[in-house]
Amino acid sequence: MTSTQKSHSAIVIGGGSTGAAVAHDLALRGFEVTLVERGEIASGTTGRNHCLLHSGGRYCVNDREAGIECIEENMILRRIMPDCMELNGGLFAAFDDADMDYLPLLIEGCQACEIPYKKLTGEEARRLEPYLSPQAKAALWVPDGVFEPMRMCMAFLATAKANGAKVYPFTQVEELLMEGTQVTGVRVWNRIANRRYNLHAQIVISAGGPWAEEIAAMAGIDVPVIVAPGVMVSMTGRYSQHVINRCNKADDGDIIVPQRETSIIGTSSWTVDDPDYIDIPEDHVALMLDRGSQMIPALKQASSRGVFTVARPLIGREGEDEREVSRTFECFDHDEDGIGGFVTISGGKTTTARAMAEKTVDIACRKIGLDVPCRTHETVLLSYRAFYTI
């Protein structure tokens, strides 16, 4: 070993928000890191999500664990990656009696999860957001925000690269290399050079999002992932400055996210078997437009820029109601399945990617007897712009 070589090594599969955050955390704790991504960085779920930096308001009533994770990470991310965020705040707006009945539950949830909030009258809310429906009776301000998912990944990875990590997009894992019951590396296909080769490391971490089940199956392991897509409709024009949420239990078409010069209405939820082939149900598109324009009526006249879908990786078994499954995350140390050197991280949100990485790398460190604390919560990332220059 030369003086520049590191004594601990890890391979990360997947260049979405989770894999990028894991690579950063590993590199910061002194690992020699190689990240492989079968497509472009953020080409999976991360690059096509709703871009909402969750305050936790959406989860604090029915899924408090996820609500607390979101507000804690929201506060950290705005400190460590300021150039990937628009900190515009969010409104949970109540338009009918059912929404008004939900408002006290939402306030109680915010208090329980320690989410800052401010109650507004309908008139105050419309003063902030003139396009809001005149039906708005009240609203709750929360610290929602908007992020740029690809830039987030690039900021994590630029910093990881500055700490020695190697990042290989368009490099697909086709096989997990095994010695007995130990995963020792991966066989990859470099899709640009059309070349196949092996990579070895002490630990292999799968951050394959909705593909996690497929990757774990390469080692004969069954990871419980529900693949749950959602439809989003992007409208031309920015009809609010805040993120507009409907003040009710999370449901279809109840969020409008202002993203650059668009307004993205989302989302729905159903389950599929294969995250690579998802048909967009026409009725979901109509539902987004209908529900979105109940909150901002001007969206009825706006033109649609595009419709897109992508799949959530939820932790759960087939047959469970995906709407009721927690949005929290889980890290699987496959020692428990009798397979060494292999860890899967799945579930969660882009908002909670850093916390997901912390838990995963804690496990990786424990597996090889390394005692180095996580510092990602206090490490300000390089600009995403540095990704291509390091």
Ligand X SMILES: Cc1cc2nc3c(=O)[nH]c(=O)nc-3n(C[C@H](O)[C@H](O)[C@H](O)COP(=O)(O)OP(=O)(O)OC[C@H]3O[C@@H](n4cnc5c(N)ncnc54)[C@H](O)[C@@H]3O)c2cc1C
Nearer to ligand X, 155 or 232 (CB): 232
Q: How far is CA 304 from the centre of its chain?
A: 25
Torsion sign across C-alpha atoms 302, 304, 310, 316: positive
CB of 156 to ligand X, least distance (A): 10
Nearer to ligand X, 138 or 357 (CB): 357
Nearer to ligand X, 136 or 186 (CB): 186
What amino acid is encoded at 296 in this protein?
I
Pick left, alpha or beta for residue 255 (phi over 0 → left; psi -120 to 50 → alpha; otherwise beta). beta
The dihedral formed by the CA atoms of 12, 15, 17 and 18, expressed in degrees to the nearest 10? -20
Nearer to ligand X, 169 or 341 (CB): 169
Q: Which candidate, 358, 376, 294, 328, places its Cα nearest to that of 70? A: 328
- For residue 88, how many C-alpha atoms fall within 13 Å in the half-sphere facing its CB? 22
CB of 334 to ligand X, least distance (A): 16
3-state helix, strand, coil split of the chain in percent (to 5) is 30, 30, 40
Nearer to ligand X, 12 or 296 (CB): 12
CB of 172 to ligand X, least distance (A): 4
Torsion sign across C-alpha atoms 301, 304, 305, 309: positive
CB of 385 to ligand X, least distance (A): 21
CB of 46 to ligand X, least distance (A): 3
DSSP H/E element including 231: strand 225-236
Nearer to ligand X, 52 or 158 (CB): 52
* DSSP structure class, residue 340: B
Six token digits for residue 42:
């953020």
Q: CB–CB of 120/138 below 8 Å?
A: yes
Q: Which residues of 137-173 are buried (b: 16+ CB within 10 A; e: fewer)?
A: bbbbbbbbbbbbbbbbbbbbbbbbbebebebbbbbbb
Six token digits for residue 120:
């507004």
Nearer to ligand X, 172 or 383 (CB): 172
CB of 211 to ligand X, least distance (A): 4
Instruction: Indicate the pairing of strand 166-168 with strand 90-94.
Output: unpaired
Nearer to ligand X, 138 or 315 (CB): 315
Nearer to ligand X, 138 or 256 (CB): 256
CB of 206 to ligand X, least distance (A): 8
Nearer to ligand X, 281 or 297 (CB): 281
CB of 138 to ligand X, least distance (A): 24
Spatial distance between the Cα atoms of 19 and 21, rounded to a whole number of angstroms: 5
- Interface residues with ligand X (CB under 6 A)? 13-19, 36-39, 43-46, 49-52, 54, 172-173, 207-211, 215, 229-230, 232, 266-267, 310-313, 348-351
**Crossing angle (nearest 10°) for helices 64-80 and 353-367:** 90
CB of 256 to ligand X, least distance (A): 12
Instruction: Indicate the pairing of strand 166-168 with strand 31-36.
Output: parallel
Count of beta carbons in the 10 Å neighbourhood of residue 117: 18
CB of 371 to ligand X, least distance (A): 27
